[in-house]
Amino acid sequence: MQFDFGKIFIVVISVLIMTVAGCRSNPVLNIEDAAVVTGKSQASADEVKNAIMLAGKSLGWVMKPGGAGSILATLNLRKHMAVVDIKYNTKTYSIIYKNSQYLDYDGTNIHGNYNGWVQRLNQAIQVQLSGV
């Protein structure tokens, strides 16, 4: 049995490239002043809060109400942890990075999975708000 070291080298390099590409970091995604769009003319602050809480819980985020117009949301996946501060009122909401563990945050960039989690949270909030 003969080995084709050229093919083995190409396979090894391809696997390394895919591994590195999957772990690349991206600028932190913050959702700022997204419009509160509901099924009625204007939602109350409690309706907005409840929609945000339901959206986060549906995706596995631990949602803790803070002061007026504020929710602290934490997501734990395997060894990774992300914390965002969600500020809201009857017209807008924002999802802002607060803290993380094992996501290689360097002050600007973070593991690419984080942005996907925030995007899914934002989409879930929009869906919940549309039912208000």
Q: What are phi and psi of 2, to 5 degrees?
A: -110, 145
Nearest alpha-carbon partner for 46 in 96, 92, 88, 94: 88
CA-based end-to-end distance of the chain: 68
Encoding tokens for residue 22?
């999957």
Domain spanning 26-130, CATH architecture: 2-Layer Sandwich (3.30)
- Sorted by where each begins, the domain ranges of the chain are 26-130
Reading the chain (132 residues) residue by residue, the pLDDT tens digits are 565 555 555 544 544 444 444 557 899 999 999 999 998 888 999 999 999 999 999 999 999 999 899 999 999 999 999 999 999 999 999 999 999 999 999 999 999 999 999 999 999 999 999 999
pTM as predicted: 0.82
Encoding tokens for residue 40?
């009625």
